[in-house]
Amino acid sequence: MGGYTKSTLLRYVRADNRETEDYRVGNCDDESGETHNVTFYCDFSTLQWRLTNNNVAVLTFNQVAKRI
């Protein structure tokens, strides 16, 4: 088996139910040249940070590498 065996993902805790979720950013062997960005914005109506990619309010997050 050649190539990479890991994927970059963002692991976060949702503000609505305090459950942990993984958001897969992209595989290390992606040769498309496409940039994979993950950004947050402050929701001024709830005063919570939201993940721009899926609009989920988050309490905390961490970037991890996961074996695929």
**Number of independent structural domains in the chain:** 1
| Rounded Cα gap, residues 13 and 5, in angstroms | 25
pLDDT at 32: 73
> Would you say residue 24 lies in a domain?
yes
pLDDT at 20: 96
> Would you say residue 51 lies in a domain?
yes
> Would you say residue 33 lies in a domain?
no
The model's pLDDT over 6-61, given as tens digits with 9 standing for 90+, comes to 677 889 999 999 999 998 887 666 677 677 778 899 999 999 999 998 999 999 99
pLDDT at 1: 45
Domain extent at residue 43: 7-28+39-67
Residue 13 in contact with residue 20, Cβ under 8 Å? yes
> Would you say residue 2 lies in a domain?
no
> Would you say residue 56 lies in a domain?
yes
The one-letter code for the residue type at 44 is: F
> Would you say residue 1 lies in a domain?
no
- The predicted model scores a pTM of 0.73
